[in-house]
Amino acid sequence: MARDGTPAPRDRPSSWASRLPWARRPVHPVLAAAIGAGLAAYAWVAGSAAPFSRGAFLAVLIPAAVIALIACIRPPQRIPPPERLDVLGTSYWLIVLTAFFEWEASAYKDNSWPWHPSFTDLINPLMGPHVIKSAAILVWILAGWALVRR
């Protein structure tokens, strides 16, 4: 404790991440808008890449590399995870997700498009329009950022 009553740095309850200077600094609205516009532009360009092309591969590799780099070097302040999950409440998720993957696995195993299409077979035609694919890429990038904050 310091003489003036303020707690010394070693007395303050904090993690190393919260001590980083950028950890609690709010993002300026102009900067946030610029980042949003940049991400939208990136998603638009990435959405124009032809499937199975080098450009399409790089389009999904670059955001992953950037997010991995941020997670390792400059991690944002994380949202504290729950100490424990309710067993009954979590079981609902397990039932639904297991059913989903079972339904998908049966379609994948049958390999009988178009009679028993997999989820991917149904989603791919929806991704045809450029604007839809770009929006989906933008949502995917934002989901990755949300995961890094968890």
Partner 1 sequence: MPPIPTRAITIIGFVILVAAIFALEILARRPGSRIPTVGQWLGYLMRPKLGRFLILLGWWWIGWHYFAR
List residues binding partner 1 (CB under 8 A): 46-47, 49, 51-52, 56-57, 59-60, 63-64, 67-68, 71, 79-82, 84-86, 88-90, 92-93, 96-97, 99-100, 103, 107, 114-117, 119-120, 122-124, 127, 133, 136-137, 140, 143-144, 146-148, 150
DSSP reduced 3-state for 38: helix
User: In terms of Cα–Cα distance, which of 42, 53, 48 is closest to 133?
Assistant: 48
User: Could you tell me the smallest distance in angstroms from the CB atom of residue 98 to partner 1?
Assistant: 10
* Angle between helix 54-73 and helix 29-47 axes, rounded to 10 deg: 150
Nearer to partner 1, 6 or 90 (CB): 90
Nearer to partner 1, 23 or 148 (CB): 148
Q: Whole-angstrom Cα distance, residue 36 to residue 147?
A: 17
> What's the angle, vertex CA 113, arms to CA 112 and CA 118, rounded to 5?
95
| 138, amino acid identity | L
Question: Which residue stretches of 48-129 are H helix?
Answer: 54-73, 87-110, 119-126
User: Could you tell me the smallest distance in angstroms from the CB atom of residue 140 to partner 1?
Assistant: 5
Nearer to partner 1, 4 or 83 (CB): 83
User: Could you tell me the smallest distance in angstroms from the CB atom of residue 115 to partner 1?
Assistant: 5
User: In terms of Cα–Cα distance, which of 86, 88, 106 is closest to 98?
Assistant: 106
User: Could you tell me the smallest distance in angstroms from the CB atom of residue 79 to partner 1?
Assistant: 6
User: Could you tell me the smallest distance in angstroms from the CB atom of residue 106 to partner 1?
Assistant: 9
Nearer to partner 1, 6 or 112 (CB): 112
